[in-house]
Amino acid sequence: MAEPMGFFTDTTLCIGCKACEVACKEWNQLPAINGGQNTLSGNSYDNTRRLDGINWRHVKFIEQFDANDPNRTGGRWLLMSDVCKHCVQAGCLEVCPTGAIIRTQFDTVVIQSDVCNGCRYCISACPFDVIGINEANNTAMKCTLCYDRMLGGLTPACAQACPTASIQFGPLHQLRARAEQRVQQLRQRGESRAYLYGVPGDGYTDRIGGLNAFFLLVDRPQVYGLPERPELPSRNSLPGWLLGWGSGILAALGGLLAFRQRRMAAVEEAVAVPARGREAAPPQEE
Amino acid sequence: MLGERANPVHWDWLVLLEMFVAGVAGGAYVAAVILEVSGRGRSPAARTAHLLAFPLMALATLLLIVDLARPERFWHMAVMNERFLPMLKPWSPMSLGTWLVILFTLFAFVSFVDALIARRLFTIGGWRYDRTLHGTPLGLAWSLVGGLLGLAVGIYSGVLLTVGNFPGWGQTWMIPAVYVSTAMITGVAAVVLIQALVGPTDADVVSLADANVWLIAWWLVNVVVFLLTLVGGGAAIFLRGVPLIAILVAIVLAGIVPLVLYALRPISLKGNLVLSAVLVLVGGFLMRYGIVMGPQLH
């Protein structure tokens, strides 16, 4: 297996230019919209709105301005180029019933479009709400971390296009070391809120083993629309099956007992009625 | 856990209908098992249950296939693409469920054929109307395995919802328990309804209806525990709007009214049997509607 590869997205360097979105769409030949007309979201400069089957990169615009502060001195923009996290333990891969979702030799998670049959279970399983149906081919799609480019020794299109190195691509261990240095650098410069989301031991993503596409953030995960504690779908498997079987077996046994009790009573009644009838009848003359 | 979900799973009416129909099939088959274990494997009610289960499973399978975004690739669920080996991931409820549906449909099919043979429609070698599978020790064994598969089919679709990260579904463990108990009450109700309408309303049917009263009480316990797991947590997404109304109406129709009818009048009255069965079927459908659609509508 090749060395695990991934993305390190430093949100403090993002300027919201969306070059990553454009590069991603161009390389992967993704449509601008899933039919219909393009519309404005009314939410800051974010008209992409979300990650889905045709948007594999999404630059989030988070405006933090206090309405009671007319000078806007304490305000700030948080910009983040969001992407599939290529989880170390991926919920989508776990539940996919067709084997369409695979882990590649680069430790990334890829949906094979020629295998996917569009059951949409991966959409429900993803803790980051990344996957959607691409109506061009009616299969579930998401970022492949440019698997085809990686096979050719190329950098993913988004990282290649990013003008500020907010999106960095490389071997995971190198990216993590670089990210730790960047956090220290920011803290020394006074940005004490800087931390990494998606590295081992971060206190957030431990339940899924961390992320191969991780982020440097300066506010709580929820502010960026990231879950505080992403979890694997299988956490509910054992209790769900146990409660289901417990309820089902009890129902069947209870139903069986109730049926037999009632039927015995009916049979006894049927036997008793003719007997009572015989007792009540006048003696037959011989 | 995410508060809002941007990407829809679109498990809408086809999935809802499939879950309901497969649940009725599984419950009906278990009703036949109850009859067979009680020595009534050749009774008209047991035959009706067998005649019901297979066509419903065939319909459920069709609904599942049509619901896929790429229906022509339905076989990828059971057979590996290109390698043509069996595709099974036991830890994935949908993958396991695919095999449960296949196996249960197979068992239901044999019982279905057995019921047709019992009606003297045809014979297959020594498999004749006077030598049917059910009503024999082999038939009992077949029934027991088939019944377990029927229960599993009733359970897996609830597990499928629970095993995920969709807000609401992924935040309670009780959906499988509610699902399987819904399958039981609706399956038994379907058998009672058909028998009351077109077959003899004999002691078996009356006793099944009587057993369903117990099952309804058990279903209500499951539903109440399910609702309690929702209160206060993030899964309160169920307890709003139309889904909440559907769940409440389901409790009244499939739970409270049949129990009151049972308490007020003898259950053996034909009209009473029909009314209770219809209410249970409608209520069971509404319960599934509330659970499937609830989180998706918000």
* B125 to chain A, closest Cα gap in Å: 34
Asked if the structure places residue B77 within a domain, the reply is yes
Average pLDDT over residues A250-268: 92
Is the confidence at residue A179, as pLDDT, over 90? yes
Tell me which of B265 and B74 has the higher pLDDT: B74
pLDDT of residue A284: 39
- pLDDT-derived band at A34 (thresholds 50, 70, 90) equals confident
pLDDT of A275 reads 55
- State percent of chain A over pLDDT 90: 83
Strands A57-64 and A76-83: antiparallel
**Quick check: is B122 in a domain?**
yes
User: Taking residues A61-84, what's their average pLDDT?
Assistant: 90
- Amino acid symbol at A233: P
Count of H-run helices and E-run strands, chain B = 9, 0
Confidence category of residue A53, pLDDT binned at 50, 70, 90: very high
Interface test with A, best of B38, B67, B70 (most A CBs within 10 A): B70
Position B114 pLDDT exceeds 50: yes
DSSP assignments along B229-254, one per residue: HHTTSGGGGGSSHHHHHHHHHHIIII
Under the banding of pLDDT at 50, 70 and 90, the label for residue B297 is confident
How many domains are there within chain B?
A: 1
- Residue B224 has what pLDDT? 96
- In the block, residue with structure tokens 């109700």: B189
- C-alpha B234/C-alpha A116 separation (Å) is 31
How do residues B21-55 score in pLDDT, each as one tens digit?
999 999 999 999 999 999 999 999 999 999 999 99
Domain assignment of residue B55, given as a range = 13-297
The answer to whether the CB atoms of B159 and A227 lie below 8 A apart is no
Q: Is the pLDDT of residue B262 over 70?
A: yes
Question: Looking at the domain assignment, is residue B6 inside a domain?
Answer: no
More confident site: B6 or B260: B260
List, as ranges, residues 226-245 from A with C-beta within 8 Å of B.
Answer: 227-231, 233-234, 236-237, 239-241, 243-245
Give ∠ CA A266-A269-A271 in degrees, rounded to 5. Answer: 110
**Partner-chain contact B213 A250, CB within 8 Å:** no
- For the stretch B203-247, pLDDT in tens is 999 999 999 999 999 999 999 999 999 887 766 788 789 999 999
Residue A285 predicted with pLDDT over 50: no
Does residue B66 sit within a domain? yes
Assess if residue B196 is contained within a domain: yes
Interface of B with A in 69-98 (CB under 8 A): 69-71, 73-74, 76-77, 80-81, 87, 89, 91-95, 98
Q: Is residue B3 assigned to a domain? A: no
Q: What's the whole-number mean pLDDT along residues B267-291?
A: 92
Contacts of B98 in chain A (CB under 8 A): 97
CATH of residue B114's domain is 1.20.1630.10
B110: how many CB neighbours lie within 10 A of its CB? 17
Q: Is B198 a member of any domain?
A: yes
From chain B, pick out residues whose CB is under 8 angstroms from the CB of A119: 68-69, 77, 94
Average pLDDT, chain B: 94
User: Hey, are the CB atoms on B89 and A97 less than 8 Å from each other?
Assistant: yes
Partners of B151 on chain A (C-beta within 8 Å) are 245, 248-249, 252
Helix B13-37 and helix B270-293, axial crossing angle in degrees, nearest 10: 140
A83 at interface of B, judged by CB pairs closer than 8 A: no
Whole-prediction pTM: 0.93
Please answer yes or no on whether B163 and A240 come within 8 Å at the CB atom: yes
What is the pLDDT averaged over residues B274-286? 97
Whether the pLDDT of residue B138 is over 60: the answer is: yes
Interface of B with A in 160-219 (CB under 8 A): 160-166, 169-170, 173-181, 184, 188, 203-204, 206-208, 210-215, 218-219
